[in-house]
A and B are shown apart, each in its own frame.
Chain A
Amino acid sequence: MTVLARAAAQRPAAVAARPGGGRRRGAGGPRWWVAYLFLAPGLAFFGVFYAWPAVTAAQLAFYDYDIVSPPRFVGTGNFERLAASPEFWQAFGNSLLFLAMFLPLVVVLPLFLAVAVNLRLRGIGAFRLVYYLPVVTSMVAIAIAWSFVFHPKGALNWLLLELGVIDTPIQFLLDGHWALPAVVVVEAWQYTGYFMMIYLAGLQSIPAGLYEAAALDGAGAWARFRRITVPLIRPYAAVCCVLGGILATQSFASIYVLTRGGPQGATTTLGFYIWSRAFEHFDFGYASAVGLVLWAFLVCFALVQYRLTRGEPTG
């Protein structure tokens, strides 16, 4: 749900922030403290579940804390530990790899799907529905379904053997090379319909007249796609890119059910590593330090995105 608002906030047009204009209140409107009476519950929750934890997170990273004994200040000790930890660097590398595989899958493929479900065909709504179904399904159920697909004697191996792509079945979830791509595929598969809907909204905002004019000028379907759709859909692609980055780092249930971060840490991303250090090993200070690093990484990612998308023609 947060993701939706992020999408909306990312919208390039100025539709997002519209501070009520001049019609905020007429004469005899409420006094200022009335506003705070309305705000009180929201602000209380904001304070307890956002502000307080945010401060705690920053503090905790400089402490050694296992919940049982009181926290002990260790300065930058946690950061030194993580910098020297092969596990951390493996998780860091896995996160980058995850992102590198996940982003193309959710930024490029859904665009083609959106073009397909934007066709005026009888029953197209049913196809949209089927493509969207995984988005509202629990990842735990999805992961169980895919564990059958990935099984050495499962459907995927059968298909690849039949097509002659491989000679011997692959243990997708137990093979260090294949486990991470397998998890990425499941995550991307779940969200494809979601990104498709974002693109569909974008496609439907492109005036049909543009396509008609281009067709009159003799532009073929591919030329129309390249010259009209792609440039005008760019802001939406930027939204998908940002959302893709956020979703990639949030992957958890898929990893938990399919691989538990294994084999040998091959599917442990930074997000999973944080959970594992904190809630399997009760190493809360260290896990918080990793959290800060991840957060810094996310901020950098957002800044790079912002720089890349700023100044582009937004249609």
Chain B
Amino acid sequence: MTPRLRTLGRYVLLTLVAAVFAGPFLILLTTALKPGSQPVYSFPPDLLPVPPVADFVIEAWTSVPFARYLVNSVLYVVLTVPAYLVISALTAYPLARFRFPGRQAVFLAILSTMFLAPEVMLIPRFLVVSQLDLVDTFAGVVLPGLLSATGVFLLRQAFAGIPQELPDSARVDGAGELRIFWHVMLPPVRPTLAVLAIFGFVNVWNNFQWPLVVLKDPDSYPVTLGLAYLAGTFGADARPAAAGAVLAMVPVVGFFLLMQRHIIEGMSGALKG
């Protein structure tokens, strides 16, 4: 086999695999844009909407409060991610840099939460949230997600890598502990914070089971729940559900494409420790 032919073969193979991963999304998109006169299904599959119309995108947008769902999802992200970063950093920092009684115990306790499977915690967490009277509130959706072992774990490693001279010289200059934390120790761990923020965004945006359990009022639904609701209401015609799915995907896929470098590097960075 000539090298040229081999390269060509590799591209063909890569493209076939890409078709497997992009195919369902393409079907989603073309279904969403098909006019009502064109059948959704046909043998062979008819992938081109003739002509492409926005009728069902508009129907998805207006038959349920779709804009409201999107705003809610944005709110859940905005309420969760910054607080999540601050709490994770506040928790990780002393675990990485201070010597104090109980340090190991605290770290182990937080690490052990990784072994509490979420599907097992679903019920008791719901009961706690209902005892706090937070069922069907934004706080009920947001609060349980503000601490995760992942964030603490990764930030602790980032803080541990900062040279001791930095806080020491700040201390000599008479800076208070909070000031040292905020102005001296946080800037160097910015890359880790960025990774956590990106994955936090994606996770909160795509979260489904917890909001499903906590929320009753459809006006508070994030877009994932709204989309499932929309898909459930159209038994006969699949097009509005497809259009809704496309609408729900746009923000997170756009964000992903913007942040792809960080996401891919962040993933391998996290794995390399």
- Chain A contacts to B: CB under 8 angstroms: 1-9, 11, 13, 15-16, 18-21, 23-26, 28-30, 32-36, 38-39, 41-43, 45-46, 48-57, 60, 67, 113, 116-117, 119, 121, 124, 127-134, 136-142, 144-149, 151, 153-155, 158, 161-162, 189, 192-194, 197-198, 200-201, 204-205, 239, 246, 249-250, 252-253, 256-257, 270-271, 274-275, 278-279, 284, 287-288, 291-292, 294-295, 298-299, 302
Q: What are the residues of chain B within 8 A of A192 when measuring CB–CB?
A: 21
The distance from the CB of B130 to the nearest CB of chain A, in whole angstroms, is 8
Say whether chain B's binding surface is mostly helix, strand, loop, or mixed: helix
Q: Which residues of chain A have C-beta atoms less than 8 A from B111's C-beta? A: 9
Specify which chain B residues have a CB less than 8 angstroms from the CB of A116 in the assembled complex: 10, 13-14, 17
Docked-complex contact A18 and B117, CB < 8 angstroms:
no
Is the C-beta of B116 less than 8 angstroms from some C-beta in chain A? yes
Query: What is the CA–CA distance of A198 and B264 in the complex, to the nearest angstrom?
Result: 10
Q: Are B199 and A1 in contact (CB under 8 A)?
A: yes
Chain B residue nearest in CB terms to A116:
B14
- Name A's interface SS: helix
CB distance from A215 to the nearest CB of B (A): 14
Asked if A139 contacts B123 (CB within 8 A), the reply is no
Task: Select B97's contact among A11, A24, A127, A146, beta carbons within 8 Å.
Answer: A24
Indicate whether A4 sits within 8 Å of B273 (C-beta atoms), given known contacts A23-B164, A131-B17, A153-B43: no
Whether A133 lies near B122 (C-beta < 8 A) is no
Distance between Cα atoms of A164 and B164 in the complex (Å): 68
Contact A133 B22 (CB under 8 A): yes
**Tally of contact residues, B, Cβ under 8 A:** 116
Q: Are B270 and A4 in contact (CB under 8 A)?
A: yes
Chain B residue numbers with a CB within 8 Å of A292 are 120
Task: Let me know if B231 and A252 touch, CB within 8 A.
Answer: no
B146 and chain A: residue at smallest CB distance:
A45
* A26-B164 contact, Cβ under 8 Å, with A141-B249, A154-B45: yes
Complex Cα gap A220–B62 (Å) = 60
For residues 114 through 132 of chain B, which have their beta carbon under 8 Å from a beta carbon of chain A? Answer: 114-128, 130, 132
Residue-by-residue, is B1-27 near A (CB-CB < 8 Å gives 1, otherwise 0)? 000000100110110011011111101
Residues of A within 8 A of B227 (CB): 138, 140-141, 144
Query: CA separation between A140 and B40, bound complex, in Å?
Result: 20
Q: Distance in Å from the Cβ of B151 to the closest Cβ of chain A?
A: 7
Q: Which of B104, B123, B164 has the most CB of A within 10 A?
A: B123
A-B contact pairs, 10 of them (CB 8 A): A1-B200, A23-B163, A35-B98, A36-B94, A41-B87, A130-B21, A140-B224, A148-B31, A154-B45, A257-B231
